[in-house]
Amino acid sequence: MWWEHAQRLQECLHEVEAMHDEALLQEERVQWMRMGAEKHLKDLEAKNTVLMENLKQKNKPQVTQQIQEKSNNRFWLICRGVVQVWHVSP
């Protein structure tokens, strides 16, 4: 009788150890997945920054040209929230 109890106890101990090992493996997988997700997010943020800088550089000549055209043809006066525009002949 005590032998059967000891044998069942041993089986339960093996099951608990197996579940513990599986839990550790799952926790390790979760940590790797979390680190991968964080790296992916950082990579996306870096890519977004590069794309925004490229967009700014690409549009910079166009924006500069638009500003020059406006400044060549108009004189802007901003006073008390009212914008007055005078056209200046070249």
Is the pLDDT assigned to residue 85 strictly greater than 50?
A: no
Domain boundaries, the chain: 2-65
User: Phi/psi of residue 75, each to 5°?
Assistant: -120, 120
Quote the DSSP letter at residue 55. Answer: H
Q: Average the pLDDT over 23-40 and give the result.
A: 92
Prediction pTM value: 0.49
Greater model confidence, 20 or 49: 20
pLDDT digits (tens, 9 = 90+) for 40-83: 888 888 888 888 787 777 766 665 665 555 555 554 444 444 44
Q: Which two tokens stand for residue 4?
A: 């059967």
